């Protein structure tokens, strides 16, 4: 149906006859001539229709051109010639196609929006097929496609084996809720959609496959936001006989190569490394954005003897923290803006936000200054590096909570005061805690997942020091986004059983839920480790968009709906009966 793509017609084709196919981007009837911007996935070319006096065929051609509307699907035959008025905005702007034949392959109905408009997200998702025609969306989808292709080439060339794992699998506790699928042939029993291929890839290592990868679809029934979807795509990788540094060095080289190939970005020759404890202390986050130079400063030692009870209580608590964040130039903040910062901190658990504001002339504006002597106050300002024109925010309370909300303020201040440097800031975060305490459940939960190896090999040591145990987990962070997470795995069945026990999973429950894994570890499991990268998130970063929905062809809304297909939707009673499911009426 075509000899060339619209966006690739250039001066080398001048004088030649071409056949094109695409959509009517714009059609302009200027009376004596018609111009059609014909668009396909490669771009736009101008098609010109010039009627010849006394020529019935050209008059009919002009009539067809004059009838065209937005997004009509056309096949055009014509001769390429040089344009009199060059359009530098188009790749094809030095040429045009003089039409000799136009066939309307399909007329388009009146559009809910045009390809060059940017409607609301609900409209975009309802008419996703129109949204995806927009050049910006085409660009972002192409970025994703190039990313996946480059990853496959890179791994295939290095002896990784692309192995599929099941989509219908067993429900296992991995953090989020499972999506459940009723098993028709086994009434009352259910499959689960995989939250990740974690256990299968470990079993592949036991089975002797030295290097595995998969572009894997994963499913988690969790609350949605801009960087989360119910179903998402991972690059899943696993290596046998490796330590942490082996995995990190390999994937670091891979990410440098991929970013160069896909978006022509040179990532750092060596990614910096930082422990989880250091990241939380300096940045209040386990995925710090190093493009923002602001850091948190601990001030507990300077305020523990002050007369401000909020500070003294936290400063004298072994699990407490008092941290300061200096914002250069922040004295310009009004009281209302300071209240906005306090409200933002409250979203992350802050019960209040103290501050010291220093005017350009050194005048102090602070609700907490009265709790300090002159010398102690001066020492505090010196310790945090505050100068005229700055504001310093203070957070006090439990260590984790203070780190969280002060880290959130750091990000807010970095963006609002234009303190985010250009470029790319990759980072390895290592030495995560093995467990964290769940106050509600009154038990430990795994910070990564239950299959992450502890840094210690001795089970008695792990049991005795569970509260402070460090894991062999690691995350790759890029510009404040966790793009990959991995670990060295537990390969000994006795250690795996001990970790289950510390997580409150008894021997009987462990056997019921993870018996297949424990059995596999008993039959000569090699030391192994791996990592999984979020394809959607990396593609979004490469494409320069805040939302992963822009790089997923058919995403769900934050309300977990597919507006185009109207999913989820009710199921007929006979279908439910086949899978032995009854739907209870909603309780009013």
Structural domains in the chain, sorted by start: 6-106 (2.40.50.140), 117-271+527-588 (3.30.930.10), 292-420 (3.30.1360.30)
Q: Are 453 and 471 in contact (CB under 8 A)?
A: yes
Examine the pLDDT at 434 and tell me if it is beyond 90: yes
Q: What value does the mean pLDDT of the chain take? A: 95
The pLDDT value given to residue 275: 98
> Which pair of tokens denotes residue 69?
């509307």
The pLDDT value given to residue 224: 76
Q: What is the pLDDT of residues 260-293, one digit of tens each?
A: 999 999 999 999 999 999 999 999 999 999 999 9
Annotated binding site for L-aspartate: 174, 220, 448, 489
Q: Are 6 and 22 in contact (CB under 8 A)?
A: yes
What percent of the chain has pLDDT above 70?
A: 99
Alpha helices per DSSP H over 232-297: 244-263, 276-283
Q: Give the C-alpha separation, 23 to 69, whole Å.
A: 10
pLDDT tier for residue 194 given thresholds of 50, 70 and 90: very high
The pLDDT value given to residue 185: 96
Helix, strand, coil shares of the chain as percentages rounded to 5?
35, 25, 40
The DSSP result for 531-578, as a single string, is: EEEEHHHHHHHHHT-S-GGGGSSSPPPTTS-BTTTTBS----HHHHHH
pLDDT tier for residue 439 given thresholds of 50, 70 and 90: confident
The region, left, alpha or beta by phi > 0 then psi within -120 to 50, assigned to residue 540 is: alpha
Its pTM stands at: 0.94
Q: What is the pLDDT of residues 318-336, one digit of tens each?
A: 999 999 999 999 999 999 9
Q: Give the C-alpha separation, 423 to 527, whole Å.
A: 37
Q: Are 365 and 455 in contact (CB under 8 A)?
A: no
Annotated binding site for ATP: 220-222, 229, 482, 534-537
The DSSP result for 415-452, as a single string, is: HHTT-B-SS--EEEEE--BSEEEETTTTEEEESS-TTB
Distance of CA 580 to the CA centre of its chain: 37
**Helix H or strand E encompassing 202:** helix 198-206
Residue among 109, 231, 74 at smallest CA distance from 562? 231
> Which pair of tokens denotes residue 208?
């002797």
Q: Give the C-alpha separation, 97 to 95, whole Å.
A: 7
Q: Give the C-alpha separation, 541 to 481, whole Å.
A: 9
Identify any residues that bridge with 446 across adjacent strands, giving them in sequence order.
435
**Helix H or strand E encompassing 102:** strand 95-106
- Average of per-residue pLDDT across 395-409: 97
Annotated binding site: 174, 220-222, 229, 448, 482, 489, 534-537
- SS3 of 61-93: HHHHHHCCCCCCEEEEEEEEEECCCCCCCCCCC
pLDDT tier for residue 226 given thresholds of 50, 70 and 90: low
Examine the pLDDT at 367 and tell me if it is beyond 90: yes
> Which pair of tokens denotes residue 300?
């507990």
> Which pair of tokens denotes residue 389?
């024109």
Examine the pLDDT at 587 and tell me if it is beyond 80: no
Q: Give the C-alpha separation, 517 to 109, whole Å.
A: 56
pLDDT tier for residue 174 given thresholds of 50, 70 and 90: low
- CA dihedral 18→24→27→33, nearest 10 degrees, is 20
- Average of per-residue pLDDT across 463-481: 97
> Which pair of tokens denotes residue 541?
């970063």
The phi and psi torsions of 388 (rounded to 5 degrees) equal -60, 135
- Residue of higher predicted confidence among 585 and 138: 138
Q: Give the C-alpha separation, 128 to 372, whole Å.
A: 60
pLDDT tier for residue 54 given thresholds of 50, 70 and 90: confident
- Average of per-residue pLDDT across 382-391: 97
Strand 43-49 relative to strand 95-106, pairing:
parallel
- Residue of higher predicted confidence among 34 and 176: 34
Identify any residues that bridge with 445 across adjacent strands, giving them in sequence order.
436
Residues contacting 404, CB < 8 A, separation 6+: 284, 285, 348, 349
Radius of gyration, alpha carbons of the chain: 30
- Average of per-residue pLDDT across 17-37: 96
CA angle 479, 528, 453 (to 5 degrees): 75
Residue among 157, 241, 159, 234 at smallest CA distance from 205? 241
pLDDT tier for residue 567 given thresholds of 50, 70 and 90: very high
> Which pair of tokens denotes residue 327?
């914002």
């Amino acid at each position: 149906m075509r000899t060339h793509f619209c966006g690739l017609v250039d001066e080398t084709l001048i004088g030649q006859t071409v056949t094109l196919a695409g959509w009517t981007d714009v059609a302009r009837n200027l009376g004596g001539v018609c111009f059609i911007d014909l668009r396909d996935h490669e771009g736009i070319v101008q098609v010109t229709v010039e009627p010849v006096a006394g020529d019935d065929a050209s008059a009919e051609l002009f009539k067809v051109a004059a009838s065209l509307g937005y997004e009509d699907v056309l096949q055009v035959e014509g001769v390429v010639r040089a344009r009199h008025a060059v359009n530098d905005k188009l790749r094809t702007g030095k040429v045009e196609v003089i039409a000799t034949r136009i066939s309307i392959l399909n007329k388009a109905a009146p559009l809910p929006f045009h390809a060059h408009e940017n409607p609301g997200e609900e409209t975009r998702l309802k008419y996703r097929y129109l949204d995806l025609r927009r050049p910006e969306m085409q660009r972002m989808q192409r970025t994703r496609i190039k990313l996946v292709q480059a990853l496959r080439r890179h791994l295939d060339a290095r002896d990784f084996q692309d192995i599929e794992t099941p989509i219908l699998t067993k429900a296992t506790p991995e953090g989020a809720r499972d999506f459940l699928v009723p098993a028709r042939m086994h009434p009352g029993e259910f499959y689960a959609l995989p939250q990740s291929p974690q256990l299968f890839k470990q079993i592949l290592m036991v089975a002797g496959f030295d290097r595995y990868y998969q572009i894997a679809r994963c499913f988690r029934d969790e609350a949605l936001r801009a960087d989360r979807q119910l179903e998402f795509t991972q690059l899943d990788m696993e290596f046998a006989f490796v330590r942490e540094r082996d995995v990190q060095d390999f994937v670091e080289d891979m990410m440098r190569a991929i970013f160069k190939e896909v978006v022509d970005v040179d990532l750092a020759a060596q990614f910096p490394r930082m422990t989880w404890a250091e990241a939380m202390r300096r940045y209040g986050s386990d995925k710090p954005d190093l493009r923002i130079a602001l850091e948190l400063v601990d001030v507990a030692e300077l305020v523990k003897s002050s007369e401000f009870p909020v500070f003294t209580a936290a400063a004298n608590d072994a699990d407490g923290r008092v941290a300061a964040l200096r914002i250069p130039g922040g004295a310009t903040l009004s009281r209302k803006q300071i209240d906005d910062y306090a409200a933002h901190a409250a979203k992350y658990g802050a019960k209040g936000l103290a501050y010291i504001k220093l005017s350009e002339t050194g005048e102090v504006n602070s609700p907490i200054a009265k709790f300090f002597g002159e010398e102690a106050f001066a020492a505090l300002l010196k310790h945090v590096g505050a100068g005229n024109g700055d504001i310093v925010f203070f957070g006090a309370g439990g260590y984790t909570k203070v780190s969280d909300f002060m880290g959130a303020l750091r990000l807010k201040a970095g963006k609002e005061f234009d303190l985010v440097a250009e470029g790319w800031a990759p980072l390895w975060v290592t030495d995560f805690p093995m467990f964290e305490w769940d106050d509600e459940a009154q038990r430990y939960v795994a910070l990564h997942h239950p299959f992450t190896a502890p840094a210690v090999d001795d089970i008695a040591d792990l049991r005795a020091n569970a509260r402070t145990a460090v894991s062999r987990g690691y995350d790759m962070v890029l510009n404040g986004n966790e793009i990959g997470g991995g670990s060295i795995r537990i390969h000994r069945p006795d250690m795996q059983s001990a970790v289950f026990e510390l997580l409150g999973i008894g021997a009987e429950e462990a056997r019921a839920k993870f018996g297949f894994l424990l059995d596999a570890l008993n039959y000569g499991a090699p030391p192994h480790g791996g990592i999984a990268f979020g394809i959607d998130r990396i593609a979004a970063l490469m494409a320069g968009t805040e939302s992963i929905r822009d790089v997923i062809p058919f995403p769900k809304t934050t309300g977990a709906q597919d507006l185009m297909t109207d999913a989820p939707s009710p199921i007929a009673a006979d279908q439910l009966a086949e899978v032995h499911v009854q739907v209870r009426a909603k309780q009013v």
